Amino acid sequence: MNIYHIHGKIIRFVSGLLVILLINNVIHAEDIEDEEIPGNPHSAALEKAYLIPRQIYVGDPAALVLPLPGARQNSDDIILIPDLYNAYFFPSDPDIDFHRIILERRVSESKLTVEFTAFVPGIHEFPVIIIGGEYFEGLTVTVNSILDDDSRRILSSAAPALAMPGTALLLYGSMAVLVFLILFTIWFFVKGRTALQELRKNWKRRILFISIKNTEKQLYKAFLKGADKRMILDKLSGEFKNFLSILTDNNCSAMTACELETLPHEYFLLLEDSHNFLGNFFRSCDELRFSGVVAGSDDITRLLDNLRIFIGKLENIKKKKQMEEKAA
> pLDDT tens across 111-149, in order?
999 999 999 898 999 998 888 888 888 899 999 887 655
Q: Which of 119, 144, 169 is at the close of a domain?
A: 144
Tell me whether residue 71 is in a domain.
yes
| 303/314 Cα distance (integer angstroms) | 17
Give me the chain's average pLDDT, please. Answer: 78
Neighbouring C-beta atoms of residue 77, cutoff 10 Å: 11
Pairing of strands 61-68, 50-52: antiparallel
End-to-end CA distance of the chain: 154
Judge if 248 and 313 occupy the same domain. Answer: yes
| 132/102 Cα distance (integer angstroms) | 10
Residue 257: pLDDT over 90: no
Tell me whether residue 185 is in a domain.
no
More confident: 129 or 10? 129
| 133/38 Cα distance (integer angstroms) | 15
Judge if 301 and 201 occupy the same domain. Answer: yes
More confident: 164 or 7? 164
* pLDDT for res 233: 87
At 155, is the secondary structure helix, strand, or coil? coil
Tell me whether residue 293 is in a domain.
yes
* pLDDT for res 66: 92
| 35/78 Cα distance (integer angstroms) | 31
More confident: 37 or 272? 272
pLDDT interval class at 34 (50, 70, 90): very low
Judge if 203 and 109 occupy the same domain. Answer: no
Judge if 273 and 212 occupy the same domain. Answer: yes
CATH number for position 78: 2.60.40
Tell me whether residue 259 is in a domain.
yes
Highest mean pLDDT among 8-22, 206-220, 269-283: 206-220
Number of domains in the chain: 2
Quote the domain boundaries for residue 306. 193-327
Judge if 139 and 231 occupy the same domain. Answer: no
At 120, is the secondary structure helix, strand, or coil? coil
* pLDDT for res 180: 93
> Are 206 and 315 a contacting pair, CB within 8 Å?
no
* pLDDT for res 13: 63
pLDDT interval class at 27 (50, 70, 90): low
Provide φ and ψ at 247, rounded to 5°: -65, -40
Tell me whether residue 165 is in a domain.
no
| 277/314 Cα distance (integer angstroms) | 12
Helical residues (DSSP H) of the chain, grouped into ranges:
3-34, 167-187, 193-224, 229-248, 257-260, 274-290, 297-327
Question: Rounded mean pLDDT of 30-46?
Answer: 53
**Could you tell me which of 255, 40, 46, 57 has the C-alpha nearest to residue 135?**
40
Q: ∠ CA 141-146-149 to the nearest 5 degrees? A: 85
Tell me whether residue 154 is in a domain.
no
Non-local (6+) Cβ contacts of 303 within 8 A are 233, 236, 281, 284, 285, 288
Residue 95: pLDDT over 80: yes
Judge if 123 and 227 occupy the same domain. Answer: no
* pLDDT for res 277: 79
Helical residues (DSSP H) of 114-228, grouped into ranges:
167-187, 193-224
Q: Which of 80, 111, 144 is at the close of a domain?
A: 144
Judge if 129 and 202 occupy the same domain. Answer: no
Q: Provide Rg for the chain, Cα atoms.
A: 55
Strand partners, 68: 110
| 183/192 Cα distance (integer angstroms) | 11
Question: Rounded mean pLDDT of 21-42?
Answer: 51
Judge if 197 and 275 occupy the same domain. Answer: yes
What crossing angle do the helices spanning 193-224 and 297-327 adopt, rounded to 10°?
160
* pLDDT for res 249: 79
Residue 32: pLDDT over 50: no
| 177/183 Cα distance (integer angstroms) | 10
Q: Which of 144, 166, 181 is at the close of a domain?
A: 144
| 174/271 Cα distance (integer angstroms) | 52
Residue 41: pLDDT over 70: no
**Could you tell me which of 149, 81, 156 has the C-alpha nearest to residue 113?**
81
> Are 67 and 109 a contacting pair, CB within 8 Å?
yes
Question: Rounded mean pLDDT of 4-22?
Answer: 61
Judge if 215 and 300 occupy the same domain. Answer: yes
Judge if 258 and 136 occupy the same domain. Answer: no
Judge if 140 and 197 occupy the same domain. Answer: no
Provide φ and ψ at 100, rounded to 5°: -160, 145
What would the DSSP string read from start to end of 290-303? HS-PPPPHHHHHHH
More confident: 94 or 271? 94
**Which pLDDT tens digit goes with each residue over 176-189?**
999 999 998 888 88
> Are 143 and 118 a contacting pair, CB within 8 Å?
yes
**Could you tell me which of 70, 65, 114, 69 has the C-alpha nearest to residue 93?**
114
Neighbouring C-beta atoms of residue 104, cutoff 10 Å: 19
Judge if 203 and 116 occupy the same domain. Answer: no
Tell me whether residue 72 is in a domain.
yes
Tell me whether residue 123 is in a domain.
yes
